[in-house]
Structure 1
Amino acid sequence: MHREHLVETAPGVRLWVEERGAADAPALLLVMGAQASGLAWPGELVDALAAHHRVIRYDHRDTGRSTWSYETEPYAITDLARDALAVLDALGVERAHLVGMSLGGMLAQLLLADHPERVLSATLIGTCALSTTPYTAPDGTATPVEDLPGIDPRILEMWANRPEDLDEAGELEWRVEHWRLLHGDALPFDAEAVREQERRILAHTGHARVSTAHAQASPDGMVRTEALAATKVPVLVVSATAEPVFPPPHARHLAQVIRGARVVEVPGMGHALPAPVLGPLAEAILRHTGA
């Protein structure tokens, strides 16, 4: 079944929410990254998960069909985590499996740290740990969190030099080139598939305006070192071997700082969800939620 809703998560804030799968199946909440609509979760992946789960995906504030309000009502990143919880509340979901990508992986960590009673399991993709504990390499070398490898300079340059006032065609092509870099260098890049997905997102959103709300939103109060080290929620960390935003040491660091976390490697995967990784990713998620 396919169901759509507009859910109020805060005064004056309504989020677009979609459900797929049987209403009585275990709930699974997909939490996307910064500035990304819920439609950035590929339909093929959503359908694979919906064969076993009541899959819920949504548009963050300032994306897609949800309220665009940051310019008049600024909010913090922690408010986006409260939105995710409010989506579950609105749909009557007591406990859910969480799958978070990039910023969504950070929001998932906030939920499993602050509201573990609401989380059945968490799968973290393309993200970093909300912990100050240093990373210990296989040879025993300790690396402070701030010294872990950072974002590919090509991506930083693209962000810094984003053209203003692009028309819809120009915005579409900028997004395709952005995804080309996020994709990583290991797997072939299917520009036409990405272009088609971004066309769907533009049509869903209804305009080609760009928001930088999530880049501007305050990250204060996000560290959860002690709670992550003590959690009893089962956590799976996806290690993407070609990840250009949070390179592989970040996945291993996550698994070190989150109690009991397991790592699964998806060869060739970058900071994106192209067709070749969807099968292995769905299999890993379903094995984790089924356990």
Structure 2
Amino acid sequence: MIEANTLRPSAATLETAPTRYVDGSGIRFAYRRLGPSTGTPLVLLQHFSGNIDAWDTAVVNALAVDRPVIAFDNAGVGRSTGQTPDNIAAMARDAVAFIDLLGLSKVNLLGFSLGGCVAQQIAAEHGRLVRRLILVGTAPKGGEEHLLAVLQEAFSHTEAPDPRLPLFFTKSAASQSAGVAFLKRAKMRKEDRDTDSGSAVTDPQAKALITWCATPDPEHAMLRAISQPVLVICGSHDTMLPADNAYAMFKALSNAQLILYPDSGHGALFQHHELFVSHVRTFLDA
């Protein structure tokens, strides 16, 4: 196994931190570690098709000022080996295997979109591992999703410089301007960039998300199994995983706070990155 416990102090940013690797469970996981060497690490669980470099540097670097932050590629994604599962439960098992390989006994989780589904599964099944949970732009089991329709709409905008502009942001001038700024930040790393995802990743991920939302959980058994404090955040105009999901999670969870950001879509955490970091910091420091 490649060195796992390499949690050393670092002034590195998401743009400059070396991509590290750890082997186990038949998978070589790629990750970057930022921030101080002490404190409960915040592990980031990424959205559909996303890799390490799809995270917003403004979010990750700011969060890493006063806490360890770990961004990684789950099995089959980016530079991680293995096969991308087509179900949330297997994705959660792979993520827990990665956390175990780093020798971490307690973590905070930030799950965005598909990553939020994975985060719910982990928190429900591994209560002692997860201290606090942040769910952003995601859905509960049996929730509402419009993944394929929203993707089709976004890719129809051939005039857009990047499909993430119509995918993550609303049509308002303010949101579009924030989207352009986000895209610039997303391209800041020039060397050792992560590997973009192809159909071997996106097809099983799409199946996993659609199946998760198509599987009824009328009693919210998954959410009711989560006892940790949870911060639920969503954009007011999220078309992929609508804000009704956030409210449903807030009501079903035993210890949750809910925040909706104005005039924002699926990428609300990127558009309102300063506010988002402030809210996450306050929540994690409690």
The normalised TM-score by structure 1 is 0.77
CA contact (8 A) 1:102 1:126 kept: yes
CA contact (8 A) 1:185 1:242 kept: no
1:53-68 pair list within 5 angstroms: 53-67=67-81
What is residue 8 of structure 1 aligned with on the other side?
23
Q: Following TM superposition, by how much is the alpha carbon of 1:7 offset from its aligned partner in structure 2, in angstroms?
A: 2.1
1:40-189 pair list within 5 angstroms: 40-67=54-81, 69-70=83-84, 76-130=87-141, 145=143, 148=144, 150-151=145-146, 155-158=150-153, 176-186=162-172, 187-189=175-177
- The 2-side partners of 1:122 and 1:68 are apart by 26
Where do 5+ consecutive residues of structure 2 fail to align?
1-9, 13-17
Identity value in percent: 24
Kindly provide the amino acid, as one letter, of the partner of residue 127 in structure 1: T
1:209–1:253: structure 2 CA closer, same or farther, 3 Å change rule? closer
What is residue 288 of structure 1 aligned with on the other side?
283
- The 2-side partners of 1:217 and 1:227 are apart by 16
Q: Provide, for residues 257-290 of structure 1, a one-character-per-residue CA deviation record: whole Å limited to 9, x for no partner.
A: 1112110222223112575411011011111111
Q: Following TM superposition, by how much is the alpha carbon of 1:239 offset from its aligned partner in structure 2, in angstroms?
A: 2.6
Q: Following TM superposition, by how much is the alpha carbon of 1:101 offset from its aligned partner in structure 2, in angstroms?
A: 0.3
What is residue 214 of structure 1 aligned with on the other side?
205
Q: Provide, for residues 109-152 of structure 1, a one-character-per-residue CA deviation record: whole Å limited to 9, x for no partner.
A: 0011000110110010000012x5xxxxxxxxxxxx5xx5x428
Matched pairs, number: 262
Q: Following TM superposition, by how much is the alpha carbon of 1:86 offset from its aligned partner in structure 2, in angstroms?
A: 1.7
1:222–1:53: structure 2 CA closer, same or farther, 3 Å change rule? farther
Kindly provide the amino acid, as one letter, of the partner of residue 113 in structure 1: A
The normalised TM-score by structure 2 is 0.78
Moved more, 224-233 or 110-119: 224-233
Moved more, 229-238 or 187-196: 187-196
Q: Following TM superposition, by how much is the alpha carbon of 1:45 offset from its aligned partner in structure 2, in angstroms?
A: 1.0
CA contact (8 A) 2:138 2:245 kept: yes
What is residue 5 of structure 2 aligned with on the other side?
none
- The 1-side partners of 2:216 and 2:102 are apart by 26
- The 2-side partners of 1:201 and 1:271 are apart by 26
CA contact (8 A) 2:113 2:137 kept: yes
Q: Following TM superposition, by how much is the alpha carbon of 1:76 offset from its aligned partner in structure 2, in angstroms?
A: 3.2
Candidates 24, 32, 35, aligned match of 2:38: 24
Q: Following TM superposition, by how much is the alpha carbon of 1:178 offset from its aligned partner in structure 2, in angstroms?
A: 3.9
What is residue 255 of structure 1 aligned with on the other side?
250
Q: Provide, for residues 6-28 of structure 1, a one-character-per-residue CA deviation record: whole Å limited to 9, x for no partner.
A: 123532x2121111111112211
Per the alignment, in what secondary structure is the counterpart of residue 57 of structure 1? strand
- The 2-side partners of 1:207 and 1:152 are apart by 19
- The 2-side partners of 1:76 and 1:20 are apart by 29
Q: Provide, for residues 49-87 of structure 1, a one-character-per-residue CA deviation record: whole Å limited to 9, x for no partner.
A: 1122110110123332112635xxx65332211122122
1:262-281 pair list within 5 angstroms: 262-272=257-267, 276-281=271-276
- The 1-side partners of 2:113 and 2:67 are apart by 22
What is residue 4 of structure 2 aligned with on the other side?
none
Kindly provide the amino acid, as one letter, of the partner of residue 41 in structure 2: A
- The 1-side partners of 2:151 and 2:262 are apart by 24
Where do 5+ consecutive residues of structure 1 fail to align?
133-144, 163-169
What is residue 139 of structure 1 aligned with on the other side?
none
Per the alignment, in what secondary structure is the counterpart of residue 62 of structure 2? helix
